[in-house]
Amino acid sequence: MSAIRNDKVLGSSHILQQDKIIPQREISAKHTFHENDHAFYSTWESTVQKREPPKGLPNIGNTCYANSLLQVLGQTPFLNEKLVSCIDHSLKRFDYQTKTTVTSAFRNLLRSMNSLTFDPILAAGMISALMNKVSSREHEFRIGFQNDCHSFFLALLSEIYDENQAKEATRIFEIEMVDEFYFDSCVHNVEGGLDSLLNEEEFDEADVPCRKCGSGGKGKTRKAMAFRILPKVLVIQLGCFQEKSYGGHLHIAKSLRRIGFAEKLRVPKSNGSSVTYHLYGVVNHHGSIHGGHYTSFVKNLSPNTEHWYYCNDSNVTHSTLTEALKSRDAYLLFFKM
């Protein structure tokens, strides 16, 4: 039996349905990925900034989808520190008229959110600056228009990735996977979704012959995907929407099925080891595909704290892990190593 490996580098955001995970998009693998960036991550405990509890963010015009995401990103490990590294490096795309990039606008907002002297009026201006910078290139994110939280997350990462040569901030969300093909003739919850993604698929060798020797006998070809490099922060998009047939026509509708998830998620790797992730953020979508509202559950990641908060635009209240795990409207899950 022989095996062939086919490498892929994927963004860490995936669509997770009750029976499968579908990669959202592939990223060009022209630069090297390091699962353990020892120069930075080894000094995490001594360099990490204290994370202040979430503060209310004003809705400046149908921006709840951005606010709910920003609350989670404000607590995301390594992100603030990596953004500093990005800004310290030269930028490939720079607006010399305003001296502002998406990266710097995002960094300024996160710094304000983590300030003891947080001012919601100033925050509104910073949110506006960030949204305007993103929407100048991705027009669907204009202030006043409803949009999707996951789409905004991908657009934000894409702009930061394009602006920075070092790409430090986006690396913490990146995954490397490998396809493995095995040939005979030559030498419904989150955990269930991961199992389905990594399950073997079986084909007749005559249909999928070996690409090395061309063997296409009467045996079977089996294909499986595996995680070779896992990110520091794993983001999972739950499959909240499904196709339904009405009167012979297919329509997209929000599913009422709840997908269960736990505080810990074990993810296997291609070398036989595994990584255990811990939940720290849940973005919720309330409503239907035609309109709705976004909120989030966020864990304050300051050292020696276990406090959870429920963030609904400018209203932030104390919550618990139990309430986050019971959410029937969970849409995006954020896990850290």
Threshold 0.85, pTM exceeds:
no
Confidence of residue 31 (pLDDT cuts 50, 70, 90): very low
Q: Where are the domains of the chain?
A: 2-336
Residues 97-125: pLDDT tens digits? 445 689 889 999 999 999 999 999 999 99
CA distances for 106 relative to 9, 310, 313, 320, angstroms: 25, 22, 17, 28
Q: What is the pLDDT of residue 82?
A: 84
In this structure, of 21-30, 116-125, 242-251, 326-335, the range with the lowest mean pLDDT score is 21-30
Q: What is the pLDDT of residue 57?
A: 97
Among residues 298, 333, 331, 318, the alpha carbon closest in space to that of 75 is found at 298
CATH architecture of the domain with range 2-336: Alpha-Beta Complex (3.90)
Residues 153-195: pLDDT tens digits? 999 999 998 887 657 788 888 877 554 444 344 434 877 667 7
Q: What is the pLDDT of residue 29?
A: 34
Residues 133-145: pLDDT tens digits? 999 999 999 999 9
Mean pLDDT for 80-105 is 67
